[in-house]
């Protein structure tokens, strides 16, 4: 962490996470493939739900989860195993509270939210079917991701990654079974994909609970009595809330863009939903390296090696930007490589292809911004990541409103704004770090 060559250390720490999160990437694409077989209305409906479901995932795994990993690791590094166990308990209590908030918001207001985003008719029905099933089990998603964060904080990067791989394989069989049915099992349509997601996550959570109940474990969930401990809440939320706010803004950006695209019709919404799904596959790639970046930057900042911490950030940012940029350029040149996996509807393919032609070239900046977000979390400097996210949102809100309501511009103009927003996001973080925001 403190002295070894940066790139080999980064890859050694990131490899288990990337392998596990590659499984998540497969699941994201696979669900789109399965629901694409249901029809364009199903794809459009899932496009409405996707920003909100990914918001929950990013807050639980990256925001509160990242803060939990850091807090548990700091306590163990200082030899305070009882505090580490208490922090794990408090993180799960926080997860329960936030899961209830998500469930109440989406079960009570899902119809109004999706209608405001442009959903109507069969697309709105599909969105509600999937959303109601998923968010009724919000606690499962929150507990699974926070438990994984605790396990990583205890020094075990392998177990959460293995579980991601195993549950992904199970989902590949269970999801189409629940969507379409087979033999005596009756399919339940779009909601089946959500039920499958909850089922495999619940199994993963049970395995991690068993691991955290080992008597010889560094972190034990029953080592101390369960009760709220407000100073420990503050320790987690001090980093977790700002870190969670950034994906809130980012997913609000996706939701805003989705709402504006909805004005161009159901085919446009479906095409955009399929194409933009690729961006959510870039997030797990960044997260895999990001967890390693958080740990490496935090360790070096804590040791007073700010210069090395900045070098860690640039190294990780360059790696992630190269990977996501290569994916973006490939799909910009040949959007059919992605779009043809999900649909053969010519109208949907045309819109999605246009989106990737325009936005794919900006994915390198998106990856850079995501990597530097995780590095900033390790440095405890969350101001500029929030500024970058807010800049992205403002570009889409103001520019999208002008495109749709003032100039009645074609969808391509809106897609160009999306590309600009990604460039601004990544560039803002890079410029801030280059100007010394971590060392002031």
Instruction: Encode pLDDT of 57-77 as tens digits.
Output: 878 887 888 788 877 877 776
pTM of the model: 0.74
pLDDT at position 1, please? 65
Asked if the model's pLDDT at residue 176 lies above 80, the reply is yes
Is 128 within a domain?
A: yes
Using CA atoms, how far residue 166 sits from 19, 173, 208, 316, in Å, is: 11, 12, 13, 27
**440, part of any domain:** no
Asked if pLDDT for residue 78 goes beyond 70, the answer is no
Quick: pLDDT tens for 119-149.
Answer: 778 888 888 998 999 999 999 999 999 999 8
Cβ–Cβ under 8 Å, residues 117 and 262: yes
- C-beta separation of 57 from 367 below 8 A: no
As a whole number, mean pLDDT of residues 31-36 equals 75
For residue 358, the model assigns a pLDDT of 97
> How far is Cα 154 from Cα 218, in angstroms, rounded to an integer?
7
Q: Looking at the domain assignment, is residue 424 inside a domain?
A: yes
C-alpha dihedral (374, 377, 382, 385), degrees to nearest 10:
0
Residue 89 placed within a domain: yes
Those residues whose C-beta lies under 8 Å from the C-beta of residue 195, and which sit 6 or more positions away, are 133, 178, 188
Q: Domain for residue 1, yes or no? A: no
Mean of the pLDDT values across residues 70-89?
A: 80
Residues in Cβ contact with 230 at an 8 Å cutoff, skipping those fewer than 6 apart: none
- Other Cβ atoms within 10 Å of 105 Cβ, number: 14
pLDDT in tens, 107-122: 999 899 888 877 778 8
- Which structural domain, as residue segments, surrounds residue 104? 6-434
Residue 144 lies inside a defined structural domain of this protein: yes
**What's the CA angle centered on 123, arms 168 and 21, to 5 degrees?**
20
Nearest to 208 by CA among 149, 272, 255: 149
Number of domains in the chain: 1
Would residue 439 count as lying in a domain? no
**What is the residue whose two structure tokens read 């997030």?**
283
In a domain, residue 334? The reply is: yes
Whether 37 shows a pLDDT value over 80: the answer reads: no
pLDDT of 188 reads 83
- Give me the residue label for tokens 């996550």: 201
- The half-sphere exposure of 212 on its side-chain side, counting CA atoms within 13 A, is 34
What residues pair up with 185 in beta bridges, in sequence order? 182
User: What phi-psi label fits residue 118: left (phi over 0), alpha (psi between -120 and 50 degrees) or beta?
Assistant: left
């Amino acid at each position: 962490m403190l002295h070894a060559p940066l790139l080999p250390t980064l890859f050694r720490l990131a490899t288990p996470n990337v392998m596990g999160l590659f499984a998540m990437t497969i699941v994201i694409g696979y669900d789109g493939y399965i629901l694409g077989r249901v029809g364009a209305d199903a794809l459009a409906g899932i496009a409405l739900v996707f920003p909100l479901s990914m918001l929950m995932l990013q807050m639980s795994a990256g925001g509160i989860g990242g803060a939990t990993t850091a807090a548990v690791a700091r306590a163990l590094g200082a030899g305070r195993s009882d505090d580490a166990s208490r922090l794990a308990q408090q993180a799960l209590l926080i997860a329960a509270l936030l899961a209830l908030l998500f469930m109440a918001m989406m079960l009570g207001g899902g119809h109004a939210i999706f209608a405001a985003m442009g959903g109507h008719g069969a697309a709105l029905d599909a969105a509600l079917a999937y959303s109601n099933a998923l968010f009724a089990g919000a606690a499962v998603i929150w507990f699974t991701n926070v438990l994984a964060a605790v396990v990583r904080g205890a020094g075990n990067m392998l177990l959460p990654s293995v579980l991601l791989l195993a549950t992904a394989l199970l989902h590949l069989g269970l999801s189409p079974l629940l969507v379409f049915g087979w033999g005596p099992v009756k399919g339940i349509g779009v909601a089946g994909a959500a039920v499958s997601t909850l089922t495999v996550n619940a199994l993963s959570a049970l395995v991690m609970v068993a691991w955290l109940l080992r008597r010889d474990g560094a972190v034990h969930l029953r080592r101390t009595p369960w009760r709220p401990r407000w100073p420990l809440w503050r320790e987690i939320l001090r980093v977790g809330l700002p870190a969670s706010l950034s994906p809130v803004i980012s997913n609000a950006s996706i939701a805003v863009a989705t709402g504006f695209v909805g004005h161009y019709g159901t085919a446009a919404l479906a095409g955009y939903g399929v194409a933009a799904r690729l961006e959510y596959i870039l997030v797990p790639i960044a997260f895999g390296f990001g967890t390693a970046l958080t740990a490496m930057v935090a360790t070096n900042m804590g040791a007073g090696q700010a210069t090395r911490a900045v070098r860690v950030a640039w190294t990780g940012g360059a790696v992630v930007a190269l990977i996501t940029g290569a994916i973006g350029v490939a799909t910009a040149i040949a959007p059919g490589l992605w779009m043809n996996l999900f649909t053969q509807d010519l109208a949907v393919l045309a819109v999605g292809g246009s989106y990737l032609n325009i936005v794919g070239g900006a994915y390198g900046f998106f990856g850079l911004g995501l990597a530097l977000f995780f590095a900033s979390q390790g440095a405890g400097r969350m101001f500029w990541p929030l500024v970058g996210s807010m800049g992205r949102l403002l570009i889409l809100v103001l520019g999208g409103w002008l495109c749709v309501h003032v100039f009645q511009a074609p969808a391509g103009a809106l897609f160009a704004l999306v590309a600009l927003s990604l460039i601004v996001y990544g560039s803002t973080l890079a410029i801030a770090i280059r100007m010394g925001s971590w060392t002031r």
